């Protein structure tokens, strides 16, 4: 190690490095994404990749950081879940929206209840309507 006094006071941090902003190091640590100043990194060591990690987009590393390293940003890492990990998911499921593609309006539901009640097909509980 160099004789720089800051290096002697370095500490280590392990995580999965992903692409960040220029001059910054972006690291996934547990459920958080951490941005550090690149100039605070004293050394970096590549670690073995866990099964399922997308090595084209993410790499496990052990960083040696100077004491007093600047923490530039912290956020939730869930946005990187699909990028960093290769999950076996069907195309149809990956592209499906969370919300249903259509919603039945309350007006339509009322018309349907009225129709069923008028012909004695079904009368939903609590929705008595007059013919």
State the pLDDT at residue 33: 93
Same domain, 36 and 78: yes
- Round to whole Å and give the CA distance between 50 and 53: 6
Claim to verify: residue 17 and residue 63 sit in the same structural domain: yes
Q: Do both 16 and 66 map to the same domain? A: yes
Cα gap 51→48, rounded to integer Å: 10
The 10s digit of each residue's pLDDT in 78-114 is 888 877 877 666 667 667 666 666 677 888 888 888 8
Helix (H) or strand (E) holding 44: strand 41-46
Q: Are 80 and 103 in a shared domain?
A: no
Q: How many domains does the chain have?
A: 2
CA 20 from centre of chain: 15
Say if pTM beats, i.e. exceeds, 0.75: no
Do 85 and 116 belong together in one domain? no
Give the pLDDT confidence of 6-59 residue by residue, as tens digits.
456 889 999 999 988 899 999 999 889 999 999 999 999 999 988 888 888 889
Integer Cα distance of 28 and 88 in angstroms? 21
For residue 115, give its domain range: 99-131
Reading the block at residue 30, the tokens are 């547990």
Looking at the structure, tell me whether residues 120 and 87 fall in a common domain. no
Co-location of 107 and 64 in the same domain? no
What is the rounded average pLDDT of the residues 69-82? 87
Q: Are residues 84 and 129 in the same domain?
A: no
Do 82 and 59 share a structural domain? yes
CA distances from 87 to 50, 60, 61 (A): 13, 18, 21
Identify whether residues 85 and 103 lie together within a single domain. Answer: no
Q: How confident is the model at residue 1 (pLDDT cuts 50, 70, 90)?
A: very low
CA angle 26, 30, 34 (to 5 degrees): 25
Top pLDDT among 7 and 1 is at 7
How many whole angstroms separate alpha carbon 13 and alpha carbon 29?
Answer: 9
> Could you give the CA distance from residue 40 to residue 38 in angstroms, rounded to a whole number?
5
Same domain, 74 and 111: no
Note whether 105 and 89 are same-domain residues.
no
pLDDT mean over 54-70: 90
């Amino acid at each position: 190690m160099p004789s720089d006094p800051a290096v002697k006071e370095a500490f280590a941090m392990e995580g999965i490095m992903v692409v960040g902003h220029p001059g910054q190091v972006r690291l996934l640590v547990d459920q958080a994404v951490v941005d550090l100043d690149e100039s605070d990194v004293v050394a970096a060591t590549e670690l073995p990749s866990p099964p399922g990690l997308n090595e084209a987009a993410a790499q496990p590393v052990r960083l040696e950081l100077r004491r007093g390293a600047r923490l530039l940003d912290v956020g939730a890492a869930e946005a990187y879940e699909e990028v960093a990990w290769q999950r076996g998911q069907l195309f149809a499921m990956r592209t499906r929206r969370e919300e249903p593609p259509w919603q039945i309006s309350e007006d339509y539901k009322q018309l349907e209840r009225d129709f069923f009640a008028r012909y004695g097909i079904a009368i939903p509980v609590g929705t008595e309507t007059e013919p």
